Amino acid sequence: MRREKRGFWIAFCAVFFYPIGWLTGRGRYEGREHIPATGGALIVANHISHLDPIFSGLIVERSGRVPRFLAKHSLWSVPVLGQALRGSGQIPVYRESADAQQSLRDGTAALQEGKVVIIYPEGTITRDPQTWPMHARTGVARLALTADVPVVPMVHWGTHRVLDGYNKKFRPLPRGPITVRCGEPVDLSAYRGRPIDAGLLREVTDLLMVRVRDLLAEVRGEPAPATFFKRAS
């Protein structure tokens, strides 16, 4: 398998990601064939644990590609981590600020440059009591419509049992199964070329999250809810 050139900081992160992934669970990486071997791709994932980025990164890296994340900008101020994020070309997200649009521009540029970008459209770990995806932000649709690249749904299941961020529980032992699965790219041809407005962004966001939700239902082996959980404003 031909690998995308990683660079020092991606290799540096891999030194930590692989051992953490092995120590925290028995990872199953399914559907890697849906991640394009070359060219840009937007990966749209659910978010159930702070461990998710490690396993998101591992399935992309195992596919021979370099993962780039849209992640909250405050991480860039963390010693060492911030330098690794800058050096590896990750994309800071500025919410509720004048710089918010810059995050989408940077994400679009990365996709158009042929990179694999991972986004968690919920913006935070799900608050759904049954751990299903929540009502998502529409930035994912703008990225998907602005950059004409494959849009791949991806889900994690099992990471929440290891690290439960809201209840502050960490249970790495015994090592349980963690599944990361990619699905077939979502066909957005019917939406491309239309004027991008709030209605279209909401429609495409919901379509993408339905694909993520349905893929998660397959992994969980149970029916998905008909609606998305909404956080209290």
**Higher model confidence: residue 82 or residue 162?**
162
Judge contact between 145 and 188, C-beta under 8 A: yes
Residues 167-180: tens digit of each pLDDT: 778 888 888 999 99
Tokens linked to 59: 């399935």
Residue 76 above 80 pLDDT?
Answer: no
User: Can you tell me the distance from the alpha carbon of 98 to that of 50, in angstroms, rounded to the nearest whole number?
Assistant: 27
Tokens linked to 98: 């004048």
pLDDT at 9: 60
Average pLDDT for residues 137-157, to the nearest whole number? Answer: 95
Average pLDDT for residues 201-211, to the nearest whole number? Answer: 97
Residues 51-67: tens digit of each pLDDT: 999 999 999 999 999 99
What is the sign of the dihedral through the CA atoms of 52, 158, 60 and 46?
negative
pLDDT at 65: 93
pLDDT at 1: 61
Please identify which residue in the block is written with the tokens 């981590």: 81
pLDDT at 79: 72
| HEC-encoded secondary structure of the chain | CCCCCCCHHHHHHHHHHHHHHHHHCEEEEECHHHCCCCCCEEEEECCCCCCHHHHHHHHHHHCCCCEEEEEEHHHHHCCCHHHHHHHCCCEEECCCCCCHHHHHHHHHHHHHCCCEEEECCCCCCCCCCCCCCECCCCHHHHHHHHCCCCEEEEEEECHHHHEECCCCEECCCCCCEEEEEECCCCCCCCCCCCCCCHHHHHHHHHHHHHHHHHHHHHHHCCCCCCCCECCCC
Tokens linked to 143: 């990225």
Q: How confident is the model at residue 11 (pLDDT cuts 50, 70, 90)?
A: confident
User: Can you tell me the distance from the alpha carbon of 71 to that of 223, in angstroms, rounded to the nearest whole number?
Assistant: 30
CATH class given for the domain over 8-219: alpha beta
Characterize 91-101 residue by residue with b for buried, 16 or more Cβ atoms within 10 angstroms of its Cβ, and e for exposed. Answer: bbbeeeeeeee
Residues 80-120: tens digit of each pLDDT: 766 777 777 788 887 665 566 778 888 899 999 999 999 99
**Higher model confidence: residue 233 or residue 48?**
48
Judge contact between 182 and 154, C-beta under 8 A: yes
Tokens linked to 207: 């379509």
Residue 202 above 90 pLDDT?
Answer: yes
Residue 198 above 60 pLDDT?
Answer: yes
Residue 4 above 60 pLDDT?
Answer: yes
Residue 233 above 60 pLDDT?
Answer: no
Report domain extents, the chain.
8-219
